[in-house]
Homo-oligomer: A and B are copies of this chain.
Amino acid sequence: MNFLIIGGDAAGMSAASRAKRNLPELNVTVLEKSHDVSYSACGMPYNIADAERNMDDLVARPASVFREKQGINLLTGHLAESISPLDQTVSGVSGQGQPFSFPYDRLLIATGGAPIVPDIPGKSLPGVMALKSLDHGRKLKAYIANQNVKRVVIVGMGFIALEMCEALRTRAIQVDIIKPGPVFLPWMDAALADIVQKEVVSHGVELHFGHDVEQVDSCAGRLRASSPSLSLDADMVLFAIGIKPNSEIAAKAGAALGPQQAIAVDKLLQTSIPNIYAAGDCADAFHVVTGQKTWIPLALRANRGGWAVADTITGKPAELPGVCGTAVVKVFDCEIARTGLNEKESKHAGFLPVSETIKARSRAHSHPGASDIWVHMVADQKSGRLLGVQMVGREGVAHRINAVAVALHNKMTIEQFAQSDLAYAPPFGPVWDPLLTAANQMLKKI
């Protein structure tokens, strides 16, 4: 049987490795357009922060291992261009300009996502960057070094923008961040977003709201990012306004698309076309809180999806229950975490949301070194269900969110969650964990 995979990143290589492990006689072929496979894309900002480190430290497993040790037919520099579901083949062109065509019995589309760069004048100037692939990272890091970059304009204020902002400040590079909207982290509770915004500003970063960059110009050896209302000069302009799913090849083949044009898949990660699966950033997923389709491109989901497809096609069907959108990010000395829905998303999904924001301490009363932990909790007034949590603090946030994620998988009510036997010791929190304090406060409202 031929298992063909388009895309050699997290989902694709996870699927290839696991399929070979499950069924060594399987023919596994991976078509990867770049020359990089299996690297930690999420690690790029931290690598860029350290001028001494090599970008290739992020490679978890080189292509040779997949080829020689695991027996995977890994073809880098191979751009897949079209799928023919009728004769079950994938066609494209190799880096040498040679056309190719591969047959499949089962196909996995793991084409990932692409950074959104608006189609504006100057978008292709040297020094105008995006950050998604390792090649992006190499190019960006080399540019900082070679062009002696002292000032960067980041367009967008999401997680990647904030991680890159920290990375650049670590290297003493001036940073302006600019976005069209008026609100910092609009998905987040205002009180919590304010804490993060202050943290960013306290590190000398300039935030500019309400300006939509409409062109980038090169002038006097530098770049100028201009909106109708503001122009910012810099040595580099980084677009970090989000990513979109690489679903074109699937759509062209007739596959149904879901939210945000991601490839629609069922719980077995099957697309609407027989024998074609999709996993990773290019595919949609079920949200465990709403039961509805969503598109939340994150690394764990990609790896897990690759494994699940491998299991399914090698004879052990693996259904994925879905995601709750658990995410965590470090921004300077702030830990930010979220899982589940915010109030707006809850309303949109048909719940009657009620929310509660509390401030607790990261260590016990009287224990030295404590700092504030903010918890914003959302529940459904009708059913009493826990719908989501956001947290911000200097310590103890990142891993605490996981308890909420597990609660969401189990559709716990606030009343049930409030009875959870969570850990306590003075160095790690108050007797009542901040999550329990939030739940206890919430109980008074619902």
Contact = CB atoms under 8 A, between A and B. Distances in A.
Interface in A388-406: 396, 398-403, 405-406
Nearest to A307: B440
Contact of A406 (B10, B46, B420, B427): B420
A321 interface: yes
Given A299-B431, A406-B406, A421-B288, A367 B401 contact: no
A328 B420 contact: no
A410 B408 CA distance: 11
Interface stretch (A171-179, A248-256, A411-419): A411-419
Contact of A399 (B301, B400, B410): B400
Contact of A403 (B328, B403, B436): B403
Contacts of A398: 396, 399, 423, 425, 427-429
A339 B321 CA distance: 25
A421 B10 CA distance: 16
B60 A365 contact: yes
A70 interface: no
A261 to B, nearest CB: 22
Interface residues of A, number: 68
Given A367-B43, A432-B303, A337 B403 contact: no
Contact of A416 (B328, B409, B420): B409
Nearest to A50: B368
A407 interface: yes
A47 interface: yes
Contact of A400 (B323, B402, B420, B424): B402
Nearest to A304: B419
A366 B41 CA distance: 11
A426 interface: yes
A409 B417 CA distance: 9
A330 interface: yes
B42 A428 contact: no
A281 to B, nearest CB: 13
Contacts of A247: none
A364 B421 contact: no
The CB with the most chain B CB atoms within 10 A, among A50, A400, A431, A435, is that of: A431
12 contacts: A43-B366, A57-B366, A300-B436, A301-B421, A337-B423, A339-B423, A398-B423, A399-B402, A401-B423, A402-B420, A406-B407, A406-B422
Given A326-B423, A327-B425, A409-B420, 13 more contacts: A10-B431, A40-B431, A43-B364, A46-B368, A299-B431, A300-B424, A303-B432, A322-B421, A398-B429, A399-B429, A403-B405, A406-B422, A408-B421
